[in-house]
Amino acid sequence: MSSPRTSPASTPVDPAEPGFGPDALRARYRAERDRRIRPEGSRQYQPVSGRFGYYDEDPYAEDGLVREPLHDRVEVVVVGGGFGGLLAGARLRQAGVDSIRVIEKGGDFGGTWYWNRYPGIHCDIESYIYLPLLEEVGYVPKWKYAPGEEIRQHARAIGRSFDLYREACFQTQVTELEWDEDAGEWLVGTDRNDRIRARYVVTASGTLSEAKLPGIPGIETFRGHTFHTSRWDYAYTGGDANGNLHKLADKRVALIGTGATAIQCVPHLGADAAELYVFQRTPSSVDVRGNRPTDPDWAASLAPGWQRHRRDNFLTLVTGGHVEEDLIDDGWTGSARLQQKLIPSDNDQDVPPEERERAYETADFQKMNEIRARVDAVVADPETAEKLKPWYRYMCKRPTFSDSYLETFNRPNVTLVDTADSHGVERITESAVVGGGTEYVVDCVIFGTGFEVGRSGITSGRLPVRGAGGVPLTEAWREGPRTLHGFYSHGFPNLFQLGPLQNASAVNFVHVLDEQATHVAEVVAEARRTRARRVEPDAKAEAAWVATIRDKAADLYKFHAECTPGYYNNEGMPRQRSESYGDGPLAFHALLRDWRANGGMREVLVDTGFDTDTGFDTDADFDTDADFDTDAGDGAGTEPGGAAAGRGK
């Protein structure tokens, strides 16, 4: 059963209705939050390393890769082959850089879309604005919301289009970065004993890339089959990302977690497993999906520049700005519109803050009432429906969208196990998962329990970085991150970080990554043109940017403090300090463009006109074999399995 998309305009909900009045809702939200708060906060989770390392093993890569360690030089090493790394590679290529080596832990490009291949996987951001470089690659996605495999194939197409397979190293993890002051280069160490010299390093290792497990008592004692959703074991379940998990026909399966991942894989598990037990601690808000195939006439009518225009349209809408027409017209822009209906603009300073907050809260109550009403309309068993209703403000948790998740709980073989009162699953035994006071004997436990959030390898220290004078980055950042525009830090020349830290963030994060990659490529191009020895902000510029971040930081503390726990609010213990640019991504992107156009790059280019016998000084000399002994072979444009795989895989 699928319910039609409803809008607040078509189904007005009276916030004063008994049980739904603002005071009742506030009290209910508080009570629901309080029963989920755990004093250990994010320490309730454990990484998939050490004794849980098998949860992190790559089920997709070729086994038994053996290759000689590399001891060579490239102009740019890019750490990470997801969309951030691919965009960095592509934009650098467009800027004229020939020698680019992407180093990636997985067996191919794709990042998130390499690792996450669970059944039902789709991107819930519209494909036409999410998949990057569509015009450059000459591709229009087949669906409004693309399946994961199509996105993964697009990542590979970017690798081919921009000739990034030629130098790539897959199944390889960067383990250290060390600045060599005399040579003006980075030494890049890997877990395959590579020792690669690089003029520039770009880190793009992702923000939701390290899977995590809950610290459930007894988790290590389970004797049945088990895996994390980001390493789906199709050898065990059968089928593929389209479903048909035929090997589960006689299996009792426990899925732990009900976030954006679970929303997508539960319908397939429910359809194919003998028994499915979904262990829920906090229900997601599940709005209408409405996926549809791409209209070929529309695709044929797209004029050059369409993707940028569409992406900007979305970003403007979801950050409270005004556009003539909502080109995307979906749950994301719909909820932004809802806010704007009551708050003409987030930037409208004429409206007193209390009035704006009241209007925002009312719109929020209406949206969540609508989401809860949808549960009642879809789920047949009233008790199950009650458990599936989210009681918190809309943006406390990541909104989700599905036209088949709620319906799955109408199946006789599917049981929802509510674990809120025990702060999650109580324990796991050799053969069972215990939740809601009941023991469920199962053959398989699947963890849909998410990822470590917002900590890249270099900020967490997992990837040690030593800059000028051997100073570790973690030491330089002892008092907190220090960057200019989020990209570079004093004492760490020629190192560019992609990610949200002291930079911008947005729902469509790939858009942000593209702006970042474009910026880095332009700075590198200018550094090459002016023959700068180093790209590095001085301490003053860095301090000024940190102060700007502090001054402009949006005060979301109160909102997050009242939210149900989750990764958006550091498991109910929100940080006082925001590390994102407070005026929002559009303003930040404009700031970067102005900075580049108005001589800002001179701030970070040090020792221009630098000339040595290393051959790094001119474009013309740069890509000779003498400079880069990279054993590139004849693998231009090849993919894993081709010539590049001999070295890269």
Contact 313, 328 (CB under 8 A): yes
CB nearer to ligand NDP: give 116 or 190: 116
State the minimum distance, in angstroms, from the CB of residue 123 to ligand NDP: 5
Considering beta carbons, is residue 208 or 351 the nearer one to ligand NDP? Answer: 208
Q: C-beta of 263: minimal distance to ligand NDP in Å? A: 7
Spatial separation of the C-alpha atoms in residues 280 and 258, rounded to whole Å = 6
Residue with tokens 């989770």: 45
Nearer CB in complex with ligand NDP: 151/198: 151
What are the C-alpha distances in Å from 533 to residues 202, 299, 612?
A: 17, 46, 10
Closer CB to ligand NDP, residue 450 or residue 467? Answer: 450
Work out how close the CB of 424 gets to ligand NDP at its nearest, in angstroms, rounded to a whole number. Answer: 3
Residue placing its CB nearer to ligand NDP in the complex, 30 or 531: 30
Is 31 exposed, middle or buried (CB count within 10 Å of its CB: 0-12, 13-18, 19+)?
exposed
Q: Provide the minimum distance between the beta carbon of 455 and ligand NDP in the complex, in angstroms, as a whole number.
A: 14
Between 5 and 529, whose beta carbon lies closer to ligand NDP? 5
- Which residues sit at the interface with ligand NDP, rule CB under 6 A? 36, 122-125, 208, 214, 216, 256-262, 279, 281-282, 398, 419, 424-425, 448-451, 566-567
In angstroms, what is the minimal distance from the CB of 124 to ligand NDP? 3
Q: Are strands 73-79 and 45-47 parallel, antiparallel or unpaired?
A: unpaired
Q: Which is nearer to ligand NDP, 281 or 533 (CB)?
A: 281
C-beta closer to ligand NDP: residue 509 or 545: 509
Indicate the pairing of strand 195-203 with strand 495-497.
parallel
Q: At what angle do helices 509-529 and 83-94 cross, to 10 degrees?
A: 30
> CA angle, corner 82, sides to 474 and 309, nearest 5?
110
Q: Which of 232, 234, 223 is nearest to 446 (CA)?
A: 232
For 174, what's the count of Cα atoms within 13 Å in the CB-facing half-sphere? 32
User: Considering the complex, what minimum distance in angstroms separates the CB of residue 36 from ligand NDP?
Assistant: 6
Give the per-residue SS3 of 248-288. Answer: HCCCEEEEECCCHHHHHHHHHHHHHCCEEEEEECCCCCEEC
SS3 percent helix, strand, coil of the chain, rounded to 5, is 35, 15, 45
342 or 501: CB nearest ligand NDP: 501
Rounded Cα distance, 612 and 608, in Å: 12
Within 10 angstroms of residue 334's Cβ, the number of other Cβ atoms is 19
Q: Which is nearer to ligand NDP, 99 or 564 (CB)?
A: 564
Closest approach, Cβ 507 to ligand NDP, in A, equals 9
Within 530-628, where are the H helices? 539-552, 557-561, 585-597, 619-622
Q: How far is the CB of 293 from ligand NDP (least distance, A)?
A: 18
Tell me whether residue 234 or residue 477 sits nearer to ligand NDP (CB atom). 234
Q: Would you say 595 and 537 are in contact if contact means Cβ atoms under 8 Å apart?
A: no
Q: Is the Cβ–Cβ distance between 564 and 282 less than 8 Å?
A: yes
End-to-end CA distance of the chain, in Å?
Answer: 46
CA–CA gap between residue 115 and residue 539 (Å, rounded): 38
CB of 463 vs ligand NDP, minimal distance in Å: 21
How far, rounded to the nearest angstrom, does the alpha carbon of residue 315 sit from its chain's CA centroid? 16
CB of 258 to ligand NDP, least distance (A): 4
The residue (of 25 and 254) whose beta carbon lies closer to ligand NDP is 254
DSSP 147: B
From the CB of residue 69, how many other CB atoms can be counted at a distance below 10 Å?
Answer: 12
Shortest Cβ 565–ligand NDP spacing (Å): 6
In terms of DSSP bridges, do strands 286-287 and 427-428 run parallel, antiparallel, or are they unpaired? unpaired
Q: How far is the CB of 605 from ligand NDP (least distance, A)?
A: 36
**Which strand ranges, in their side-by-side order, compose the sheet holding 438-441?**
427-428, 432-435, 438-441
